[in-house]
Amino acid sequence: MKNNIQKAVFATGCFWGVEENFFHTKGVIDTKVGYAGGTKKNPTYEEVSSGKTGHTESVEVTFDPKVISYEELLDIFFQMHDPTTLNRQGPDVGTNYRSAIFYLDENQKKLAEETKVKHLKNLGKEIVTEIKPLDKFWPAEEYHQKYFLKHPNHGCPI
């Protein structure tokens, strides 16, 4: 990528809180909420929420690897949610709330798998986080982008 800027895509449940957390991380240049991991082209929030598209609420993170590494982002990912609950985060239930890492290249895949093993040892129980290649990231509707900036003190906690 230009100037060695990189991207990463994560899913940890409700995307508003995930975006907010990554948005305020040093080295993160931008965040965008959207949908990944499913089969429907250009899905809407309502379609994804139905559970019929295979997509999960996801966050695309644009970062400067000179400031924060992909490994550090992975550690933040595993710490900001419960990667041991299948298709659930807190009160949110459904396949669209599953835990997933969508890698963009073989290096990201390798680092994701290594980090998952490291956190498995720390947690001592099974981690259900999917590690899959990113087929396509579909940006969510504009009203979902930077949701907490538009609606302070509202939304899902992460």
Based on DSSP, count helices (H) and strands (E) in the chain, helices before strands. 5, 8
Catalytic residue among 11, 14, 156, 158: 14
Considering the domain 2-150 in this protein, what is its CATH number? 3.30.1060.10
- Output the tens digit of pLDDT for each of the chain's 158 residues: 457 999 999 999 889 889 999 999 999 999 999 999 999 999 999 999 999 999 999 999 999 999 999 999 999 999 999 999 999 988 889 999 999 999 999 999 999 999 999 988 888 789 999 999 999 999 999 888 887 778 777 656 55
* E runs forming strands in the chain: 6-12, 28-36, 56-63, 88-89, 92-93, 99-103, 130-133, 138-139
Is the Cβ–Cβ distance between 128 and 84 less than 8 Å? yes
| Claim: this prediction has a pTM higher than 0.95 | no
Is the Cβ–Cβ distance between 158 and 80 less than 8 Å? yes
The owner of tokens 């490291």 is 118
Verify whether residue 14 is a known catalytic residue: yes
The owner of tokens 């669209």 is 96
Please choose, from the candidates 78, 67, 71, the residue with its C-alpha nearest in 3D space to the C-alpha of residue 121: 78
